[in-house]
Structure 1
Amino acid sequence: MMSDHRSFRNALGRFVTGVTIVTTLDEAGRPVGLTANSFNSVSLDPPMVLWSLALRSRNRPVFEAARHYAVNILASDQHGLSDRFARPVADRFAGVSWKAGRCGVPVLDGVTAVFECVNDTRMEGGDHLVFLGRVEAFDHFDKEPLIYHSGRYATPDYLPAPR
């Protein structure tokens, strides 16, 4: 049984996650993005992924209304970018290198993978809104991922591949 929110959060922190920045465009065509580690694969056929956003997030209306978004999987040298997109900053994209992806949404330079999605399904789950996206375009690069564990960033220490 759960004793309190902090203990529950600490228990969840024992699971290693990747770190992403989810990006889209607002109604005026300005880039919007935020750090999220609540990302998961869902289906190969059709290709689908999911991520979640706090219901109280000021970015919620933008992502709810967006036709497309991109999930940018950060590389191990991008923890500063993760921090920037996790905090309130007037213009998170100022000085950040990115380009419009195949679906028109911001794709960040230097990531280890990116998934451009149609904003297919949204549903409330507790204090979060879960976004289920149908992947329309993706790319990946041979870069070490940024990971998060127990409230801090880490990089993988890979074991030898099985024979």
Structure 2
Amino acid sequence: MIDESEFRRVIGHFATGVSVVTSCRGDGAACGLTVSAVSALSLDPTLVLVCVSHGSETHGWIREAGYYAVNVLEEGKGETLARRFAGGGGEEKFRGTAWRPERTGAPVLDESLAWLDCRVSAALEGGDHTIFVGEVLAADAREGTPLLYYRGGYGRFES
């Protein structure tokens, strides 16, 4: 098996988009975390997957709520959101961040470049993460440039 640090070094060469996955806690408060493991899975039905660490405080709330939103971040202000949602702090993550509940009740961040509102249709265990497969119930996007993550840092497309 490959060493964990070597795996991180090698997989870090794969540029990914940066998203904040949001849901709600049992008391209705918003929760969320920064993720880079998001993928379209199927067009019929429309499915998207997110990979969430078992150690994340948001993990159990997604499982309990049965829904989540994927908020694709934009370059610029998106890096601040990515860093804030990557840490702990629960409700502090949402302080000063405008959002609205979407169809499922999942929080959609106003500053998102794109968003997908999903109902969990499957939860698959994958090592120290759960792969939440969600049926997309609503989605939207606007023009802009996505925030990227590459080799441990944030970046953008050069045009």
Task: Tell me the TM-score range normalised by the shorter chain.
Answer: over 0.9
2:127 matched to 1:126? yes
Q: Shift in Å at residue 103 of structure 1?
A: 2.2
SS of the equivalent of 1:145 reads: coil
2:11 matched to 1:23? no
- Aligned Cα root-mean-square deviation (Å): 1.1
Amino acid at match of 2:14: F
Amino acid at match of 2:85: F
Bigger helix share: 2
Map 1:11-90; keep pairs closer than 5 Å: 11-77=10-76, 78-90=78-90
Q: Give ranges in structure 1 of 5+ residues lacking alignment.
A: 159-163
Q: Give ranges in structure 2 of 5+ residues lacking alignment.
A: none
| Partners of 1:51 and 1:30 in 2: CA distance | 21
**What residue in structure 2 maps to residue 137 of structure 1?**
138
Amino acid at match of 1:155: R
Contact 2:23 2:58 in 1 (8 A): no
| Partners of 1:115 and 1:89 in 2: CA distance | 24
SS of the equivalent of 2:122 reads: strand
Identity of aligned residues (%): 37
Q: Shift in Å at residue 102 of structure 1?
A: 2.4
2:107 matched to 1:106? yes
2:116 matched to 1:115? yes
Amino acid at match of 1:79: E
Larger Rg: 1
TM-score (norm: length of structure 1): 0.92
Amino acid at match of 1:8: F
TM-score (norm: length of structure 2): 0.94
